[in-house]
Structure formats: structure tokens, C-alpha cells
Structure 1
Amino acid sequence: MRILDAAALLAAEPGEEVKGVNLLIPADYDILWSIVVAVIIGFAFYRLVLPKFTAVLDERTEKIEGGIAKAENAQAEAAAALAEYHSQLAEARAEAARIREDARAEGGAIVAELRSKASDDAARILENAQRQIEAERQQASVALRAEVGALATELASRIVGEALADSARQSRVIDRFLDELEATTVESGAASASRES
């Protein structure tokens, strides 16, 4: 029937209208069968393709949301690790500063202890030296006294002309001579000191 309509349209003269022919609108049966085919394809798409497509989309959505959640967890863990690193770094710096201060204080204490020990050792050495000098001075004084006494006894014997063999007498003479000698030495030292003043 379409063919006839097309032939009638071609046969018509220009300006003459052909009734009931419209080329842009399909025939009713074409519309009916097109709807039936569209419904069958739509039903098949709805029952077969759409669930698989929805499942694939849901799976991708879950993967994306899981990836986002994992990324957020990883970011939170990284932030926590960074905060822990910063706190450990601050603790390490504080510990290092405390160790330096302890080392300085300990070094100062060691230096003070060594100075004290050195001072004590120096005082002990000085005291020992003074004792030794005093002992040597006394020993020299005794030896000098004995030698001077012997010389004085010999001199006195020669001057007096008698032998001073008696040890008690010899001892008295020596002591008296040395006392007089010391007194003379002290007087001459005091006189020279007063002259220097």
C-alpha cells in the first residue's frame, strides 16, 4: 500500500494534493510491530543485561569505596606514624639535651674532684716535704752540734790546758758554748733586721 501511495504521489501533478498520503509518519502496523519488538528487546535487556550491568557497577562502586577507605586508612596511619615520628624525634632531642647537661655536670664534678684531689695531694706532698726538711734540719743541727762540740772541746782543752775527758763536763761545756753561739746569732740577726727597716 505504501508503494501505491508513493506511485500516486509521483503521478500527481504539481499543485494537486494527494489525500491520505504522508511520507514522514509510518503505517500503523509498522508502529505496532516496532513497539512489540522494542518491548521484547526491553524485557530481555531488563531481565538479562541490566542485572549484570548493575552487578558490575555495584562491584566497581564497592571497589572504589574500598579503595577510598583503604586510602583514608593509609593516610590516617601515615599521619599517626608522622605524629609518632615527630614525638619520638622531640623525645630524642630532649633526651640528647638531658644527656649533654648530665655529661657537663658530671664533667664539672670530675674536674672539681680532681682539683680537690690534686690540692690534697699537693698539701700532703708539701707537708711531707716540710717534715723531711725539718727532720734533715734537726739531723744537721745534731750533727753540727756534735761536730762543733768536739771542736769546742778540743779548743777548750788546748786553751785551758787540761783534758776534758769527763763526758758530763764535756757535755756542759759544749751546751754552754752552743747556747752562747745561738744567742750571738740571734742578736746579730735582729740587729741586721732593724738596720734594713
Structure 2
Amino acid sequence: MVTFAVVFACMARVLLPRINNVLDERRDATEGQVERAEQLSREAGEVLARYREEIAAARHEAARLRQEALEQGTELIAGIRAEGLREREAMVVEAQARLAADRAIAETELRGDIVSLATELAGRLVGEPLEGVADSEVVDRFFADLDARSAAGSH
């Protein structure tokens, strides 16, 4: 028993403090890892929150840009449409002016041809040339009367 007590006392003095030191070191290491894991978890949560905020801000910015692009596209289409209408109106006015000018030229040419043909036909009917009649007031009155009838008929 004495031997047992001596061996136990030596072990209690030498081995027991070493065992307690190893157990304390393991406990500290385990608790440190838990604390580090908790800190990493908190940091990961903060990073995730910032990431979600950035994603929300990016989505908001993308929606704003889409809306802005849509508004600009609408404005461009309206501007192009207005420009097209202005060009069309200018082309219509120009075409109408050309038609009026062509019509006036055609009327003048036709009146000259009508006068010469009518004079020639009248000369054949009468049996003598009637060249002087083509420049007379009769022709002018005839065309003035014709213009007045066509103006009254169009209204």
C-alpha cells in the first residue's frame, strides 16, 4: 500500500499537472475554433447582406436604365415619325406644285394647238385661210368663257 501511495503521489505530482495542461490546451483550442467559426459565420452573414443589397441596387439600376431606354426609344420614334410626316408633306406640296406647273404648261400648249386646229378647220369650211383670226379677241373670249364655265362647274 505504501508503494501504491508513493507511486500515486509521484503520478499526481508529475503526470496529473501535465494531463491537466494537455486537457486545458485542448479545451482552449476547441473553444478558439468555435469562436473563430462564429466570427467567420458573422462575417459571412455581413458579406451576404452586402451582396444582397448590391444585387437589389443593381436590379433597381437595371430597371431604371430599361425605363430610360424605353422613353428614349419612344422619343426617337416620335421624332422620326414627325420628320417623316414633314418630309411627306413637303413632297406632296412639291408634287402638287409640279403638277400645277405641268398642267399650266399643257393647257398653254393645248390652247395653241386648239387655236391652230380650229383656225385650219374654219378655213377649210369657209374655203379661205383664216390666219388673222387666231390672234383676235374671239379666241380670247372663247377661252375666258370656257375657263368661267369650268370654274363654275367645279364649285
Q: Which residue of 2 aligns with 1:71?
A: 37
Partner of 1:10: none
Question: Which of 113, 119, 135 is the equivalent residue of 1:171?
Answer: 135
Give the drift of 1:41.
Answer: 3.2
Hey, what does 1:83 align to over in structure 2?
49
| Counterpart pick for 1:101 among 44, 47, 67 | 67
| Match status 1:54 vs 2:20 | yes
Describe the shift of the 1:147–1:162 C-alpha distance in structure 2 as closer, same or farther (beyond 3 A): closer
Q: Could you tell me which runs of 5 or more consecutive residues in structure 2 were left unpaired when the two chains were aligned.
A: none
- The one-character-per-residue Cα deviations of 1:3-61 (angstroms, maximum 9, x if unpaired) are xxxxxxxxxxxxxxxxxxxxxxxxxxxxxx64x852x3354124310231122112112
Structure 2: distance between partners of 1:130 and 1:102 = 42
Aligned pairs, number? 153
Partner Cα distance (1:160, 1:186) in 2: 36
1:183 alignment partner in structure 2:
148
Task: Please identify the structure whose Cα radius of gyration is greater.
Answer: 1
Paired amino acid for 1:147: D
Bigger relative contact order (CA 8 A; separation at least 6): 1
Query: 1:98–1:185: structure 2 CA closer, same or farther, 3 Å change rule?
Result: closer
Give the conservation status (yes or no) of the 8 Å contact 1:152–1:177.
no
TM-score (norm 2): 0.80
State the alpha-carbon separation in 1 of the partners of residues 22 and 143 from structure 2.
132
For residues 109 and 178 of structure 1, do their structure 2 counterparts lie closer, same or farther at Cα, with a shift above 3 Å needed? Answer: same
What is the 5 A alignment of 1:1-197?
Answer: 34=2, 38=5, 40-155=6-121, 157=123, 159=126, 161=128, 163-164=130-131, 170-173=134-137, 174-187=139-152, 189=153
What do residues 117-155 of structure 1 show as CA deviations (whole Å, max 9, x unaligned)? Answer: 221122122112212221221122112111122123334
In the alignment, the residues of structure 2 paired with residue 156 and residue 134 of structure 1 have an alpha-carbon distance, to the nearest angstrom, of 32
Query: Is the contact made by 2:123 and 2:129 (CA closer than 8 Å) also made in structure 1?
Result: yes
CA distance in 2 between counterparts of 1:88 and 1:185 reads 79
Q: 2:119 touches 2:131 (CA, 8 Å); kept in 1?
A: yes
Question: Could you tell me the percent identity over the aligned residues?
Answer: 33
- Cα deviation digits, residues 84-113 of structure 1 (max 9, x gap): 121022112202211221122122112212
Task: Provide the C-alpha distance between the structure 2 equivalents of 1:144 and 1:96, rounded to a whole number of angstroms.
Answer: 70
RMSD: 2.7
Query: Alpha-carbon deviation of 1:162?
Result: 5.1
SS in 2 for 1:131: helix
